[in-house]
Structure 1
C-alpha cells in the first residue's frame, strides 16, 4: 500500500512554476515537492531558497530538485513548462512549439511509472491538456487543465469591486477557451444569491454597459499584464494551488477547470473550461449549466476554435511525415 505522504512533482520552474512552489510551501498543502526543469541550476537554487523558508512554513515540506524517476510515487504532476506568451501573441500562437515540448515531457513522466493526476497550466492550456491526455493514455478524469479558473477569479474580483461586495460572495463563471473566445455566464451570475440581472433592474446606478466592459477587461487581462510586466504568474499560481488543494484534500469542490466533454454542453472530444467537481480521483463530474441561447452559441464557437487548433497540430506531431 502507498503511504499517505502526498508528493507533487512540478515540471517547469519559470515564473508560474516558482510562484506555485512558493504558494504551495506557504499553504502547507503537500508533504513532498519535487522540482524538475531543464535549467538545473535555477531549479536547484529554487529548492535551496524554498527550504530556507521552512522554519516559517505552516507545516513540514520536503523539497528537492529531482528527475522524472521521482514521478513514480507522485500523486500529482503539475506542468508549467513551455514557451511563454509574448506581447502581441495570443495563446493559440503557442500551440505547436509547446505541444512538442509536452510530448517529450509526458513521455518521460509516463515512462517512469506515473499513475496519478496531471494538472496543466501552460498555454494554450485547453489544447495542451487534450494533448497530455492523448500522450499519457491516462483516463480523462485524471488529466486536468487550469481552464478558466483564473478568468473566473478575475471576473469575480471585478464584479465584487463594481458592486462593492467581497469577491468571495460573487458567484459567476467564465467558461470556454482560456483565451479570446471565452464567455461570461450572465444567466447564472449572482451576488449572495441575488441574480446580477436583478441588480440591473432595481438599482439605477448599475448598467449593462459597465458589465460588458468588465467582461472585456477579464478577457484581455493577460494582454494588459504582459504589456506592463512581461508575464502573468501570481494569479494563475494561486489558481493552481486551489486546484491542488481540491485534489489532495478530496474536497469535491466546483472549479472552472479544463475538462473533457463527452456530450456535455452538446460537445464531444474537447478539453475546455467548464465548472466541474474536483476531488482526489480528479474530475468526478462535469457541472452542466443551462445556458441561454446566446451563451450556448458562443460556447459552441469556442469549442470549434479549440478543435480547429488542436487536431491538425496533434496529428502532425504524432504522425510526422
Structure 2
C-alpha cells in the first residue's frame, strides 16, 4: 500500500481541470520575476506558468517560488516548452535582448523582433483566446509587432505603455501637494519614454482642476514634474542597476483588471487608429477601460491644442519607425 493510500481513503479519482485564471510569463529576468512575485502575492491567478530558454535560470526561479508554495495560493509550473502556457487568460511577454556595446537601437529592435517571431506564434497556438500583454522595450513598437505576428484582434494585444509613467506622475504630484497619489487624477499618454505627453489640462484632486487654480504655476510644475517622470527610470537604473519592482506592480495592476473584469481605466499601449485623428495602425498609450476581453473601451479624452499636437507627433514618429521594421 502506498504512503498516500495509508494516509487517506480516496473517494473520488483526481480530475484534471483547466485553471480559470491562468497567467503565463515569458522571460524570467528581473522584470519577469518582479511581475511573477507581485501577481502571486496579490492572489490573482490559479496558475502561473513561467517560460524561458535559459534552463538553469528557469529551474532555479521556479524552484525558489515552489519552496514558498505554503505561503501562496497558485499552482506554479515552468518549462522551456510553450505547452506549459496552454489555456492562459493573460500572456505577459518580458523577454528581449539587451543592447550590445556600440549597437544601434534599430539593430537591437530588429533582434527583439526575431525573438518575438519565435515567442508569439507559440503563445497564440496554445492560448488562442488570451490577452497578450507586452512589457519588452520599446513597448509601443513591440506591441505593434506582437499584434502583427499574432494575428489577434487589436483589443487583445496591449502594452504596459505609460501605465507606470502615469503612476510616477501621480507620485511626484502627490509628494508636491502632500496628498496620497491615489487621490490625484493625472495622466501621461502617447509614446512611452522621453516623448510622452503629460495631460496637465485635466489634472485634478477631488475634481479641483490644478491648472485652473494657477495656470502659470501649473505650467511650470508640469514641465518640472514631467521631466522628473522621464528621468525616473534612469535614476533607478543609476542607483541600483535596473528597474523591476515598479514595473512588476504596474503589470499586476493591469492583469488584475483583466482577470477580475474590473472595467477600470489604465494607460496602456493600444491600437490608436481613429482616435484623436490618428489614421494609421499605431500603438501608443491612451486611457482604456480594461476587462476580461482586454480593451473594452478607449476614453474620449479632451485634449488642449498643444497636447493634441504632441500626440499627433508621437503617432507620426511611431508610424515612421513601424514602416522601417522588417517583419
Q: Above 0.5 in TM-score?
A: yes
Over 3 Å counting, the alpha-carbon distance change for 1:92 and 1:183 in structure 2 is farther
| Alignment partner of 1:21 is 2:13 | no
Over 3 Å counting, the alpha-carbon distance change for 1:312 and 1:196 in structure 2 is same
RMSD after superposition: 2.2
- For residue 215 of structure 1, the aligned residue among 217, 220, 226 is 226
Structure-1 residue corresponding to 2:180: 166
| Partner secondary structure for residue 178 of structure 1 | coil
Aligned-pair CA distance for 1:3: 5.0
Q: Which moved more, 1:276-285 or 1:264-273?
A: 264-273
Q: Which moved more, 1:8-17 or 1:112-121?
A: 112-121
Distance in 1 of aligned mates of 2:184 and 2:101: 31
Q: Which runs of 5+ in 1 are unaligned?
A: none
| Alignment partner of 1:65 is 2:78 | yes
Over 3 Å counting, the alpha-carbon distance change for 1:244 and 1:113 in structure 2 is closer
Over 3 Å counting, the alpha-carbon distance change for 1:287 and 1:141 in structure 2 is same
Q: Which runs of 5+ in 2 are unaligned?
A: 1-16
Larger radius of gyration: 2
| Alignment partner of 1:232 is 2:243 | yes
Encode CA deviations 1:4-34: one digit per residue, 9 max, x unaligned: 6211111000010011111111111001001
Structure-2 residue corresponding to 1:45: 60
After the TM superposition, which residues 110-149 of structure 1 pair with which residues of structure 2 at under 5 Å, given as runs? 110-112=124-126, 114-149=128-163
Aligned-pair CA distance for 1:199: 3.5
| Alignment partner of 1:273 is 2:285 | yes
Over 3 Å counting, the alpha-carbon distance change for 1:228 and 1:297 in structure 2 is same
Aligned-pair CA distance for 1:113: 5.1
Encode CA deviations 1:289-319: one digit per residue, 9 max, x unaligned: 1111000110011111111112211xx2x3x
TM-score by length of 1: 0.90
TM-score by length of 2: 0.89
Aligned-pair CA distance for 1:49: 1.2
Over 3 Å counting, the alpha-carbon distance change for 1:292 and 1:236 in structure 2 is same
Structure-2 residue corresponding to 1:5: 20
User: Could you tell me whether the CA contact under 8 Å between 1:130 and 1:271 is conserved in 2?
Assistant: yes
User: Could you tell me whether the CA contact under 8 Å between 1:127 and 1:306 is conserved in 2?
Assistant: yes
Structure-2 residue corresponding to 1:263: 274
| Alignment partner of 1:154 is 2:157 | no
